[in-house]
Amino acid sequence: MANGVVASGESRVGEARGGAANGGERPAVHVRAIVIQPTSPLGKLALSAVLIVAGVLFFTVGIALAVGLATAATVVGGGVIAYRAIRGKRVGMIGLDPRKEIRPGSADRSKLKADS
């Protein structure tokens, strides 16, 4: 460990809590940290390019998955609407009837205007 950075190798984490120090209840956790630090400017540029390309690929795959999910949902929704139209069932809003909507009368409207 130089300057607070763990270099490539093994370190033991948690021996104070687990392992032999805690009566053998939990084994120590072995962590292997691998650090890639190119020294030449060309190596740094190549590593940056690889990381940017990897990020763009992950982003592109994520967008493609989201578009695919939206397309699948549209197809399924269209299929349900087509099925209901073929079967002769109403395709509009299910269970909502605008005739049963509660609308304030003219006396209630004047009262509402006076309160505000």
Mean pLDDT by runs of 10 across the 116 residues of the chain is 46 50 69 88 94 97 98 95 82 66 61 57
Q: Which pLDDT value is given to residue 68?
A: 98
Q: Which pLDDT value is given to residue 113?
A: 60
- Do both 47 and 28 map to the same domain? no
Token pair for residue 91? Answer: 């395709």
Q: How many domains does the chain have?
A: 2
Does residue 116 fall inside a structural domain? Answer: no
Q: With H, G, I as helix, E, B as strand and everything else as coil, classify residue 88.
A: coil
The model's pTM is 0.47
Does residue 101 fall inside a structural domain? Answer: no
> What is the extent of the structural domain holding 23?
1-35
- Do both 43 and 9 map to the same domain? no
Q: Which pLDDT value is given to residue 34?
A: 86
Q: With H, G, I as helix, E, B as strand and everything else as coil, classify residue 58.
A: helix
Distance between CA 17 and CA 22 in Å, rounded? 6
- Do both 43 and 15 map to the same domain? no
- Do both 13 and 31 map to the same domain? yes
Distance between CA 81 and CA 68 in Å, rounded? 20
Q: Are 28 and 18 in contact (CB under 8 A)?
A: yes
Does residue 100 fall inside a structural domain? Answer: no
Beta strands per DSSP E along 1-116: 9-13, 29-33
Q: Which pLDDT value is given to residue 4?
A: 44
Residue 86 region, left (φ>0) first, then alpha (ψ -120 to 50), else beta?
Answer: alpha
